[in-house]
A and B are shown apart, each in its own frame.
Chain A
Amino acid sequence: AQKITQTQPGMFVQEKEAVTLDCTYDTSDQSYGLFWYKQPSSGEMIFLIYQGSYDEQNATEGRYSLNFQKARKSANLVISASQLGDSAMYFCAMRSNNAGNMLTFGGGTRLMVKP
């Protein structure tokens, strides 16, 4: 079974500063994918970034980067130069390539960017 843990229910960050959202996972699979989604108050789930378990380099997408530490089973999201529009819920998710490719979500972290 897969499990995703996000230990920060809520976080504040000052506008223009960087912030790290934590995510740890537990799986016995060798092949899996890790995702981060943003959910603003409107409810839509916005795909941010993806990291494959065999990727040697950390994924980056614009201001988003994923700090992947496979031995520690962590996949933290780093948002650089925070903007007010970054205020939202953030979910870490894992897809096991051996379990029907379905996603398992963490509990989420609410990020609030202060002006």
Chain B
Amino acid sequence: GAVVSQHPSWVICKSGTSVKIECRSLDFQATTMFWYRQFPKQSLMLMATSNEGSKATYEQGVEKDKFLINHASLTLSTLTVTSAHPEDSSFYICSARTPRRGPQETQYFGPGTRLLVL
């Protein structure tokens, strides 16, 4: 299957700092990437849809000024958690939509980034 990477895999930071997470599609071009957040023992919750060359679409309740998304190229989307606070501690996962359209379209997920804000 397609390969999606995330960097870093682990982040521990002090409250008030900003953290940037990168999501890369390694062997295909992804015009659309998705960012999810997963709290312990819970399901994935979609935060935003990242479209190459345009503004991200945020889900209801997600602060766009706090979670900055930049999809500058067809293989890279970044999520920046600005002025992180302990309640932002979570597992952040990105996915990239394969170029193939139609019924067989699939999202492939990155390995995730664990963020711990002290």
Contact = CB atoms under 8 A, between A and B. Distances in A.
Contacts of A55: 103
Interface stretch (B22-30, B43-51, B79-87): B43-51
Contacts of B97: 101
Contacts, number: 58
B43 A47 contact: no
Nearest to B93: A45
Interface residues of B, number: 26
B108 interface: yes
A102 interface: yes
Contacts of A45: 44, 93, 95, 109, 112
A33 B101 CA distance: 12
A77 to B, nearest CB: 15
Given A101-B97, A101-B105, A102-B49, A44 B43 contact: no
B34 A106 contact: no
A91 B44 contact: yes
Interface of B: 1, 32, 34, 38, 42-46, 49, 57, 91, 93, 95, 97, 103-112, 114
Interface of A: 33, 35, 37, 42-47, 50, 52, 54-55, 91, 95, 97, 100-108
